[in-house]
Amino acid sequence: MSDGDRPNPDALLSSIQREEAANKRGRLKVFVGMCPGVGKTFAMLEAAQRELKAGRDVVVATWKPMGEKKPTRSSRASRKWPAASSNIAA
């Protein structure tokens, strides 16, 4: 193998470091729907289950106006933290 065929080690190292940094960052995925009952929570929980099965850490959060129904039964499989209250007007 000649030196001309060999990749630049500094370029390879830089590429690997960029890739590792990108893999360490989290991703935010927001589920938005026009009205209640269109499947936002269900889609979010299904996506979370897929990510968990792939071995990734997952954090799921919901926000709902006062008086709206509780999240679906499929959320029972997840670890839960106490709900935080907020005084933000909808």
What integer pLDDT is reported at residue 75 of this predicted model? Answer: 52
Q: How many structural domains is the chain composed of?
A: 1
Give me the chain's average pLDDT, please: 76
pLDDT tens digits, residue range 26-46? 778 888 888 888 888 889 889
Q: CB count, 10 Å around CB of 48?
A: 19
Q: Let me know if residue 10 belongs to a domain.
A: no
In a domain, 49, yes or no: yes
Higher pLDDT, 87 or 5: 5
Domain assignment present for residue 17? The answer is no
Q: Does any domain span residue 70?
A: no
In a domain, 82, yes or no: no
Is 37 domain-assigned? yes
Range of the domain at 59: 30-65
Neighbour-count burial of 74, counting CB atoms closer than 10 A to its CB (0-12 exposed, 13-18 middle, 19+ buried): middle
In a domain, 13, yes or no: no
- Distance between CA atoms of 88 and 90, rounded to whole angstroms? 6
pTM above 0.95, yes or no: no
